[in-house]
């Protein structure tokens, strides 16, 4: 590998430990087999032939070259990360070398996987007309094959790759083969050894564990990709949860993000992901987010946010009140406690609708593990909101436009939807907003929340077939970053509400209600007492109109459910009668026939 001597000299002057680190890292890798042998090993290690297409020989040659380049790129990324964080290198060069070597392996694996996927698309779809049925079938096969490759990559690399995979799977705009495959990723990790965790806590708090905690459970109650959580008891007998960040994570993130930047076509989405991860690694910021959210929902008796112990919280250690509860989608637990899952879904949607439309301060990672249901008496409950590392502060103008958009979506005001699309910067793609958010086309005549008609489905399929990958890329790139955050959160919420068995109108009604409240918030702040009263009456009338519309949808939905329930019950009664008839009358007839 050639290194620019001028650049090398300048970097060494800026960071005295970098020259020694680079030489150790380079000697480690150049003591291995030649790079092309590494490439061949990577190709074999990427998994079963089951997910590998039959590529011609000239299609495989670029893969080995890509893997060879991956090793070199990984070394460069590791060196760059060391240059950015020389203190870590100086304090623990052995650990720093381990992290860097791991980064090279992870980067090499990622670059090889993406090269393989690129070649697969190129050779599998060549010579096929894009509008043909054969092309669509083959495209779906390549999507699935590629999604499986990415799944294996995320599972092998763990850490930020798991986070990235979950981020992609929550976006409704990606092909279903990707979203369904990557949704199986679990943000779990093998717990870090306690000696390392203890060292992080004592360095950050400046005290021995025994000086702070009466009891500290060495076995973590949860371990994820960036931190693990331990249970403890303070000297004053308060039960706490201690979230501890793994050592060397910031350096690992720099290496992984550098690799993803090389590979990703969607720069905006990657930028949003990097921003989110940087915030999630700062536990002081998480503490601020938690305290702000607690203030905003202090009057909400259903929402509970754990108290943060500020004097025991740093960038890498977060100490908070321990709250009991079960995951929000644990149906067995809800049933045992007599808690109505639909009521839980309603409370959850109202909580996040208020965050989006009224406060413009949005929790960015509402997966089931971050939302607990805590029983309060028979049938009562509170929602415990955890993990406040990722929040999005929505731009005020965006918040107001988004309120207007949802009002237009409920009323299916196509002209306003298209106008707001222009203001959001998505242009012609605004016509897909109703499909993305409400499941209707922009020309739909169907009842809100009802399924699309056959004619609508046919028209939509025709439009989607005409879309190219460049169109999807342009659409995603044109969306404001606030929009991307909301889409991801909305996707996670839909999944939870679906598991809870709540009807679709629960989400629509919550969004309609708080979109109107969000618009009223703006007008109230700009008017005097009299105008405020008039504005409130107008807002309530507007909401009443939307509520009647959505409640009519709920009535139609319930009527259909009731009809289906009666049909099922009638079928069951007929089935039971027939069983009774065969078991008794025919049995008696057989006995009588035998006697005769």
| Residues in CB range of 162: below 8 A, 6 or more apart | 154, 155, 185, 186, 187, 225
Element spanning 104, H or E: helix 93-124
Would you give the DSSP letter of residue 586? I
Alpha carbon 340 to its chain centroid, in Å, reads: 26
Residue 357, burial from CB neighbour count under 10 angstroms (0-12, 13-18, 19+): buried
CA distance 280 to 569: 51
Burial 92-128 (b: 16+ CB within 10 A, else e): eeeebbebbbbbbbbbbbbbbbbbbbebbbebbeeee
Q: Per the residue annotation, which of 365, 482, 490, 520 is the catalytic one? A: 365
Please state the separation of Cα 381 from the chain's center in Å.
25
Which sign, positive or negative, has the C-alpha torsion 240, 243, 244, 246?
positive
> Can you say whether the dihedral through the CA atoms of 17, 21, 22, 24 is positive or negative?
positive
Task: List 391's β-bridge partners, or say none.
Answer: 363
Give the start-end residues of each E strand in 376-452: 381-385, 391-393
Whole-number Å distance between alpha carbons of 514 and 508: 10
Please list, in sequence order, all residues whose beta carbon lies within 8 angstroms of the beta carbon of residue 202, skipping any fewer than 6 positions away.
208, 209
Q: 490 catalytic, yes or no?
A: no
Reduced 3-state DSSP string for 327-388: ECCCHHHHHHCCCCHHHHHHHHHHHHHHHHHHHCEEECCCCHHHEEEEECCCCCEEEEECCC
Check if the beta carbon of residue 417 is closer than 8 Å to that of residue 409: yes
Sign of CA pseudo-dihedral 59, 61, 67, 69: negative
In contact, 372 and 383? CB cutoff 8 Å = yes
DSSP 147-198: HHHHHHHHHHH-THHHHHHHHHHT-TTS-HHHHHHHTT-----PPPPHHHHH
Q: 3-state DSSP call for residue 498? A: helix
Strand partners, 361: 393
The closest of 515, 566, 477, 208 to 357, measured between CA atoms, is: 515
Q: Count CB-CB contacts under 10 A for residue 148.
A: 19
Q: How far apart are CA 202 and CA 187, in angstroms?
A: 26
In the sheet that holds 381-385, the strands lie side by side as 303-304, 381-385, 371-375, 326-327
* Residues with catalytic roles: 365
């Amino acid at each position: 590998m050639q290194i620019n001597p001028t650049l090398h000299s300048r970097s060494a002057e800026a960071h005295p430990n970098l020259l020694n680190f680079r030489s150790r890292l380079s000697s480690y890798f150049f003591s291995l087999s030649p790079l092309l042998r590494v490439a061949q090993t990577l190709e074999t290690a990427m998994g079963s032939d089951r997910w590998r297409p039959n590529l011609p020989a000239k299609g495989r040659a670029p893969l080995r070259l890509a893997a060879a380049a991956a090793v070199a790129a990984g070394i460069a990324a590791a060196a760059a990360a060391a240059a950015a964080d020389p203190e870590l290198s100086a304090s623990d060069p052995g650990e720093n070398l381990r992290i860097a070597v791991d980064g090279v392996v992870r980067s090499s694996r990622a670059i090889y996987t993406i090269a393989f996927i690129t070649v697969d698309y190129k050779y599998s779809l060549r010579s096929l007309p894009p509008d043909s049925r054969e092309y669509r079938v083959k495209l779906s096969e390549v999507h699935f094959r590629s999604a499986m490759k990415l799944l294996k990559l995320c599972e092998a690399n763990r850490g930020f790759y798991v986070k990235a995979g979950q981020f992609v799977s929550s976006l409704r705009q990606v092909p279903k083969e990707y979203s369904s495959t990557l949704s199986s990723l679990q943000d779990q990790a093998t717990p870090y050894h306690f000696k390392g965790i203890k060292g992080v806590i004592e360095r950050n708090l400046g005290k021995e564990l025994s000086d702070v905690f009466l009891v500290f459970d060495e076995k973590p109650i949860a371990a994820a990709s960036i931190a693990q959580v331990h249970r403890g008891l303070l000297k004053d007998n308060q039960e706490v949860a201690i979230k501890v960040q793994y050592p060397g994570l910031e350096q690992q993130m720099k290496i992984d993000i550098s690799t993803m930047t090389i590979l990703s076509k969607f720069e905006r989405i990657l930028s949003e992901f990097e921003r989110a991860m940087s915030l999630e690694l700062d536990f002081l910021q998480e503490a601020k987010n938690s305290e702000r959210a607690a203030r905003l929902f202090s009057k909400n008796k259903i929402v509970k946010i754990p108290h943060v112990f500020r004097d025991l919280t740093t960038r890498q250690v977060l100490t908070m009140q321990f709250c009991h509860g079960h995951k929000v989608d644990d149906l067995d637990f809800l049933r045992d406690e007599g808690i109505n899952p639909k009521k839980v879904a309603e409370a959850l949607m109202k909580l996040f609708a208020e965050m989006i439309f009224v406060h413009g301060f949005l929790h960015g990672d509402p997966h089931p593990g971050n939302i607990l249901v805590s029983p309060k008496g028979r049938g009562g409950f509170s929602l415990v909101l955890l993990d406040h590392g990722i929040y999005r502060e929505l731009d005020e103008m965006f918040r107001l436009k988004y309120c207007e958009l949802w009002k237009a979506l409920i009323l299916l005001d196509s002209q306003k939807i298209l106008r707001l699309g222009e203001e959001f910067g998505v242009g012609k793609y605004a016509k897909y907003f109703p499909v993305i958010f409400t499941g209707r086309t922009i020309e739909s005549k169907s009842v809100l929340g009802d399924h699309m008609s056959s004619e609508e489905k046919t028209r939509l399929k025709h439009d989607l077939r005409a879309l190219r990958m460049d169109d999807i890329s342009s659409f995603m790139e044109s969306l404001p970053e606030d929009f991307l955050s909301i889409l991801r959160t909305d996707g996670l919420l839909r999944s939870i509400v679906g598991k809870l068995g709540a009807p679709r109108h629960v989400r629509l009604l919550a969004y309609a209600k708080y979109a109107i409240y969000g618009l009223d918030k703006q007008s109230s702040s700009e008017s005097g007492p009299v105008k405020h009263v008039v504005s409130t009456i107008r807002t309530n009338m507007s909401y009443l109109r939307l509520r009647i519309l959505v409640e009519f949808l709920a009535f139609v939905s319930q009527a259909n459910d009731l009809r289906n329930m009666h049909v099922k019950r009638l079928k069951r009664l007929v089935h039971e009668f027939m069983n009774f008839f065969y078991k008794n009358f025919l049995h008696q007839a057989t006995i009588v026939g035998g006697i005769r």
